[in-house]
Amino acid sequence: MNQPRMAARADRAVGALLGVHAGDALGATVEFSSWAAIRERYPDGLSTIVGGGPFGWKPGQATDDTDLTRAVLLAYLEPGADVVRTAADQMLVWFDGPWPGRAPGTHPKDVGGATTIGLARYRRTRDPRLAGAGIDQAGNGSLMRCIPTALAVRDPQRRMLESMEISAITHDDPRCTIACAAYNEIAAALLDGAAPDDAVDAGSAAAVSLGGADVADAIGFGHQLSPATMAATGQTWLDGEAAGYVLDSLTLAVAAVLDPRPLHDVLVDIVGIGNDTDTNTAIAGGLLGARDGSNAIPRPWRSTLQYADEFASAAERLTRAA
């Protein structure tokens, strides 16, 4: 890869990681809030990272979304013999401590149910491929953390396999594993400079090839939705009302990356939809950052982010390695 192309890809990789982090931090303030409650409190939309929320986050502090993204990222930086096992080990470090920004001996403020089950099984079995919370658990807790695989792995078949296996450490329902694979095919295409429509088509093709018709349908539905309209009206047209269902979050991310407006405006609207605001906005932010690059992250947002410098350095390192 020539130097200009590598520099452009590295910038988009930085944007992808910071997009996850910024979306997470922006949405954390109103996590679990309804559309009506957010509209009343922020009639023009929440556009500043201020922290707070039900867990009392500091401005820019990582929630479980960004922390688990960091766990997967660390695994790709030092993968060992089996990157899936290394990712599971890093998740256990996060779960049990020590972890940056947390007092020794304390646990994360917020841990999803499937993540708790999957990591407990991994601690017991020591086999990341025998963990997972079961096929009836289809939350978005692995989709929020999966984008490092898109940054690190250039071969599509390996990328899809590792996306699915790292998802399955905690979320082994096929809707989750295939959603992660499809999302990372979208992200990988964007990192290589593809137009959003073409990138989304690549994700849909991956879902179909893996037997995920429902995942492909969720991607297709993203073409029909407008984040601005959803934020203005409170009407989502989503099966789970954007409250944590993995395919809802995937649909919103597709709608976001197909929206031609700047990253800032789109993420403000994803937050405004309500419910699982931090995770939905983190997942959308990853694709928007991969589309638009690091300069799309507003400087006031970036200056607050806990892992801004670490993520930027890691993204550049993975680009060189890939």
As given in the structure block, the two tokens for residue 60 are 């820019």
Which residues, including other chains, have CB under 8 Å from residue 291's CB and lie 6 or more apart?
12, 15, 190, 196, 199, 257, 263
Cα 249 to Cα 40: distance, rounded to the nearest angstrom: 24
List per-residue pLDDT tens for the chain, 322 residues long: 688 898 999 999 999 999 999 999 999 999 999 999 999 999 999 999 999 999 999 999 999 999 999 999 999 999 999 999 999 999 999 999 889 988 878 889 999 999 999 999 999 999 999 999 999 999 999 999 999 999 999 999 999 999 999 999 999 999 999 999 999 999 999 999 999 999 999 999 999 999 999 999 999 999 999 999 999 999 999 999 999 999 999 999 999 999 999 999 999 999 999 999 999 999 999 999 999 999 999 999 999 999 999 999 999 999 998 8
CA distances from 305 to 56, 89, 148, 226, 243 (A): 16, 24, 18, 28, 24
pTM metric for this prediction: 0.98
Q: Give the pLDDT score at 225.
A: 98
Q: Give the pLDDT score at 1.
A: 67
DSSP-based three-state secondary structure for 233? helix
Contact by Cβ (8 Å): 15, 314: no
Cα 216 to Cα 245: distance, rounded to the nearest angstrom: 15
Give me the sign of the Cα torsion angle 253, 257, 258, 260. positive
Place of tokens 């601690």: 123
Domains of the chain: 3-321 (1.10.4080.10)
Name beta bridge partners: 245. Answer: 139
Name beta bridge partners: 52. Answer: 57
CA distances from 248 to 80, 127, 274, 286 (A): 34, 30, 12, 16
Q: Give the pLDDT score at 242.
A: 98
Q: Give the pLDDT score at 102.
A: 87
DSSP character at residue 48:
S
Cα 293 to Cα 16: distance, rounded to the nearest angstrom: 7
